[in-house]
Amino acid sequence: LTDIRELHREKDVYIGKEITVGGWVRNNRDSKNFGFLVINDGTFFEPLQVVYGDGLENFQEICKINVGAAVVIRGTIVATPEAKQAFEMQAAEVIVEGPSTADYPLQKKRHSFEYLRTISHLRARTNTFQAVFRVRSLIAYAIHTFFMERGFVYVHTPLITSSDCEGAGEMFQVTTLDMNNVPKTEDGKVDYTQDFFGKPVNLTVSGQLDVETYAFAFKNVYTFGPTFRAENSNTTRHAAEFWMIEPEICFADLKDDMILAESMLKYVIRYVLENAPEEMAFFNQFVDKGLIERLQHVVNSDFGHVTYTEAIKILEKHNDEFDYKVFWGCDLQTEHERYLTEKEFKRPVFVTDYPKEIKAFYMKLNEDGKTVAAMDCLVPGIGEIIGGSQREDNLEILEKRMEELGLNKEDYQFYLDLRRYGSARHAGFGLGFERCVMYITGMGNIRDVIPFPRTVNNCDL
* Of the residues 40, 157, 206, 371, which one makes contact with ligand 4AD according to CB under 6 A: 206
Q: Please say which residue, 41 or 210, places its beta carbon nearer to ligand 4AD.
A: 210
CB neighbours of residue 207 within 10 Å: 27
User: How many Cα atoms are found within 13 Å in the side-chain-facing hemisphere of 23?
Assistant: 27
The span from the first CA to the last CA of the chain, in angstroms, equals 31
Q: Is 432 in the site for Mg ion (CB under 5 A)?
A: no
Closest residue to Mg ion, judged by C-beta, is: 387
* Of the residues 135, 385, 443, 449, which one makes contact with ligand 4AD according to CB under 6 A: 385
Kindly indicate which of the ranges 236-244, 362-370, 382-390, 453-461 contains the residues binding Mg ion, using the contact rule CB under 5 A.
Answer: 382-390
Amino acid of residue 132: V
In what helix (H) or strand (E) does residue 28 lie, and over which residues does it extend? Answer: strand 18-30
Kindly indicate which of the ranges 150-158, 235-243, 303-311, 393-401 contains the residues binding ligand 4AD, using the contact rule CB under 6 A.
Answer: 235-243
Stretch 417-436 residues interacting with ligand 4AD (CB under 6 A): 428-430, 432, 434-435
39: nearest Cα among 20, 56, 17, 18: 20
Q: Is 383 in the site for ligand 4AD (CB under 6 A)?
A: no
Q: Is 387 in the site for Mg ion (CB under 5 A)?
A: yes
Least distance in angstroms from the C-beta of 208 to ligand 4AD: 4
Distance, in Å, from the CA atom of 172 to the CA atom of 50, rounded to the nearest integer, reads: 51
389: nearest Cα among 415, 419, 358: 358
Q: Are 307 and 340 in contact (CB under 8 A)?
A: no
Least distance in angstroms from the C-beta of 242 to ligand 4AD: 4
Kindly indicate which of the ranges 37-45, 72-80, 202-210, 387-395 contains the residues binding Mg ion, using the contact rule CB under 5 A.
Answer: 387-395
Please tell me whether residue 392 adopts helix, strand or coil conformation. coil
Q: Is 387 in the site for ligand 4AD (CB under 6 A)?
A: yes
Least distance in angstroms from the C-beta of 25 to ligand 4AD: 36
Least distance in angstroms from the C-beta of 157 to ligand 4AD: 10
Q: Is 23 in the site for Mg ion (CB under 5 A)?
A: no
Least distance in angstroms from the C-beta of 431 to ligand 4AD: 6
Q: Please say which residue, 104 or 113, places its beta carbon nearer to ligand 4AD.
A: 113
391: nearest Cα among 408, 357, 416: 416
Least distance in angstroms from the C-beta of 138 to ligand 4AD: 19
Q: Which DSSP category does 447 fall into?
A: G
Q: Please say which residue, 208 or 371, places its beta carbon nearer to ligand 4AD.
A: 208
Q: Please say which residue, 139 or 165, places its beta carbon nearer to ligand 4AD.
A: 165
Burial code (b: 16+ CB inside 10 Å, e: under 16) for 372-398 equals bbbbbbbbbbbbbbbbbbbbbbeeeeb
Q: Is 238 in the site for ligand 4AD (CB under 6 A)?
A: yes
Burial code (b: 16+ CB inside 10 Å, e: under 16) for 249-260 equals bbebebeebbeb
Three-class HEC string of 30-81: ECCCEEEEEEECCCCCCCEEEEEECCCCCHHHHHCCCCCCEEEEEEEEEECC
Kindly indicate which of the ranges 12-20, 74-82, 236-244, 266-274 contains the residues binding ligand 4AD, using the contact rule CB under 6 A.
Answer: 236-244
Contact residues toward ligand 4AD (CB under 6 A) are: 165-166, 206, 208, 229, 231, 238-239, 242, 244, 246, 384-389, 428-430, 432, 434-435, 446
Contact residues toward Mg ion (CB under 5 A) are: 387
